[in-house]
Amino acid sequence: MFFPSRRAFFGASLAGIAAGSQLLAADPVPPLPKTLPDDASFQPSTLFLTWHRDPTTTMTVQWVGTRGETTDTTVFYRPAVAGLAVPIAAAAGNALAANLPWVPQATVAKPYPLSDFKVFRAELSGLKPGTDYQFKIGKESPIYRFRTMPARATDTIHFVSGGDCGVNQHAILNNIQAARQDPMFALIGGDLAYENGKSVATHLSFLKNYSRHMVGKDGRLIPMVACLGNHEVAGGYGTDRTKAPFFYSLFDGLYPDTGYATLDFGDYLSLVLLDTGHTSAIAGDQTDWLDKTLRARKDHPHVLAVNHVPAYPSARKMESTGGKAGTGEPNRKHWVPLFEKYRVPVVLEHHDHVFKRTKPLIGGSADKNGVLYLGDGSWGRLRAPQPPEKLTVMAAVNQDYHLTLHRVEGQERFHLAMGEDGRVMDVCRTTQRNIGLVRASGG
């Protein structure tokens, strides 16, 4: 079920794709194309897309700004016109689209913390799966583009993941590298901006970088899915939602009450997004919820767990010292048994600022039917890993900036880690774990 060899990876159904530039973008990063017309008077620099509900039929448009920037904040949308190669570059009222009516969706404005700014949001629903759409903001913006996720995983599903971004040049280079893979979405596992729940300027810089660089090859905006990390939170751990004001001002649609949620893509992909003790305790309600959530999806083909602090760290120590719990100890106690019981194949972890791939693990030991843990969050931050003798659960460790490209094909998943320059660092393949090979403790 787990195939770590490069030959196995490329010898499977990705051989044709690997020959192209989408999977292996190792050539120098080109300058950004000019995609927005000069005569569009309203071009919000923080515009990005996300999801609150099923990505096959919805899309949420968001930006941070002030009232009065534009006379009309209504989001108008419609199916993209066939043959319009780069809709984002077409000014509003383009003649090629004149025969398709625009559907209006009112925008809700809510406070953006510690400032006079507002978060403007419009959730578009009732969309057709696997369809390209155009949208514009009022009558003064360019025409942008997005694509809904397919109804079924009959074609390849591909997305990128990573974490611990920040706003430095390495984070920007990984943004550009991620966009060049033309992913369907980007999954960021916490510590997006490093604003610590306090800095308006830092948080806005992150949004501006994402908005500018995370654009697909056809001008399609790449949606962002995120979970909570300690640097979203004033104090980091053991507090409440009020201490993560920027994160929840943007993502409260997915996380209305807690720091954990599930995003289901039709019936083929589920992202189980967890809060590693920042605004929701690991034990208790969250663990009970995780048990019920994984049980309800135990027969789904692709269920991936995502959390910030890793159960199996690559840089910090697992061992308890001075009465303080080791890194990931609560995860290993409360969550890992559930990942093993319900056959979760892959857990995406972050926080340690190293590239890592564990061996497939059951109870902390290598097992071919085990859970694979990928991480550890080095999109824009680095830390030295522990010495090899401390990393016995690891199959690969690399001190380098990276992101991971994931491809879902049928019952298989392919995971390719690449550096900010497009260099391939690691490849592996996973399939569904075998049922009945892990004793289900507790019934």
SS3 sequence of the chain: CEECCHHHHHHCCCHHHHCCCCCCCCCCCCCCCCCCCCCCCCCCCCCEEECCCCCCCCEEEEEEECCCCCCCCCEEEEECCCCCCCHHHCCCCCHHHCCCCCEEECCEEEECCCCCCEEEEEEECCCCCCCEEEEEECCCCCCEEEECCCCCCCCCEEEEEECCCCCCHHHHHHHHHHHHCCCCCEEECCCCCCCCCCCHHHHHHHHHHHHHHCECCCCEECCEEECCCHHHCCCCCCCCHHHCHHHHHHHCCCCCCCCCEEEEECCCEEEEECCCCCCCCCCCHHHHHHHHHHHHCCCCCCEEEECCCCCCCCCCCCCCECCECCCCHHHHHHHHHHHHHCCCCEEECCCCCCEEEECCEECCEECCCCEEEEECCCCCCCCCCCCHHHCCCEEEEECCCEEEEEEEECCEEEEEEEECCCCEEEEEEEECCCCCCCCCCCC
| Claim to verify: residue 219 and residue 355 sit in the same structural domain | yes
The yes-or-no verdict on residue 85 having pLDDT over 50 is no
| Claim to verify: residue 114 and residue 158 sit in the same structural domain | no
The angle at the Cα of 319, spanning 313 to 325, to the nearest 5 degrees, equals 95
In a domain, 41, yes or no: no
**Residue 235: HSE in the Cβ half-sphere, 13 Å Cα cutoff:** 12
Q: Report the pLDDT value the prediction gives residue 82, as an integer from 0 to 100.
A: 54
Q: Report the pLDDT value the prediction gives residue 59, as an integer from 0 to 100.
A: 98
Residue 34 CB burial class (10 angstroms; 0-12, 13-18, ≥19): exposed
CATH code: domain of residue 257: 3.60.21.10
The yes-or-no verdict on residue 32 having pLDDT over 60 is no
In a domain, 242, yes or no: yes
The yes-or-no verdict on residue 19 having pLDDT over 50 is no
Write down which residue in 88, 121, 147 finishes a domain.
147
Name which of 225, 271, 282 is nearest 251 in CA terms.
225
List pLDDT tens digits, range 306-364: 999 999 999 999 988 877 889 999 999 999 999 999 999 999 999 999 999 999 999 99
Q: Report the pLDDT value the prediction gives residue 35, as an integer from 0 to 100.
A: 44
In this prediction, residues 70-97 reach a mean pLDDT of: 64
In a domain, 442, yes or no: no
CATH code: domain of residue 129: 2.60.40.380
Q: Report the pLDDT value the prediction gives residue 437, as an integer from 0 to 100.
A: 58
In this prediction, residues 396-407 reach a mean pLDDT of: 97
| 154 Cα distance to chain centroid | 22
Q: Are strands 412-419 and 361-362 parallel, antiparallel or unpaired?
A: unpaired
Write down which residue in 120, 147, 174 finishes a domain.
147
| Claim to verify: residue 257 and residue 321 sit in the same structural domain | yes
In a domain, 187, yes or no: yes
Q: Report the pLDDT value the prediction gives residue 324, as an integer from 0 to 100.
A: 85
| Claim to verify: residue 60 and residue 21 sit in the same structural domain | no
| Claim to verify: residue 240 and residue 366 sit in the same structural domain | yes
In this prediction, residues 396-409 reach a mean pLDDT of: 96
| Claim to verify: residue 291 and residue 328 sit in the same structural domain | yes
In a domain, 333, yes or no: yes
Over pLDDT 90: what percentage of the chain? 78
| Claim to verify: residue 258 and residue 342 sit in the same structural domain | yes
In a domain, 255, yes or no: yes
Confidence of residue 153 (pLDDT cuts 50, 70, 90): confident
| Claim to verify: residue 102 and residue 246 sit in the same structural domain | no
| Claim to verify: residue 13 and residue 135 sit in the same structural domain | no
| Claim to verify: residue 214 and residue 286 sit in the same structural domain | yes
Q: How far apart are CA 255 and CA 244, in angstroms?
A: 12
Confidence of residue 77 (pLDDT cuts 50, 70, 90): very high
Write down which residue in 147, 174, 191 finishes a domain.
147
Q: Report the pLDDT value the prediction gives residue 25, as an integer from 0 to 100.
A: 39
List pLDDT tens digits, range 239-292: 999 999 999 999 999 999 999 999 999 999 999 999 999 999 999 999 999 999
| Claim to verify: residue 81 and residue 190 sit in the same structural domain | no
The yes-or-no verdict on residue 145 having pLDDT over 70 is yes
Q: Report the pLDDT value the prediction gives residue 435, as an integer from 0 to 100.
A: 74
| Claim to verify: residue 157 and residue 143 sit in the same structural domain | no
Q: Are strands 75-79 and 132-137 parallel, antiparallel or unpaired?
A: antiparallel
Q: How many domains does the chain have?
A: 2
Range of the domain at 56: 48-147
List pLDDT tens digits, range 303-312: 999 999 999 9
Q: Report the pLDDT value the prediction gives residue 15, as an integer from 0 to 100.
A: 37
The yes-or-no verdict on residue 27 having pLDDT over 70 is no
In a domain, 34, yes or no: no
In this prediction, residues 379-388 reach a mean pLDDT of: 96
In a domain, 16, yes or no: yes
The yes-or-no verdict on residue 81 having pLDDT over 80 is no
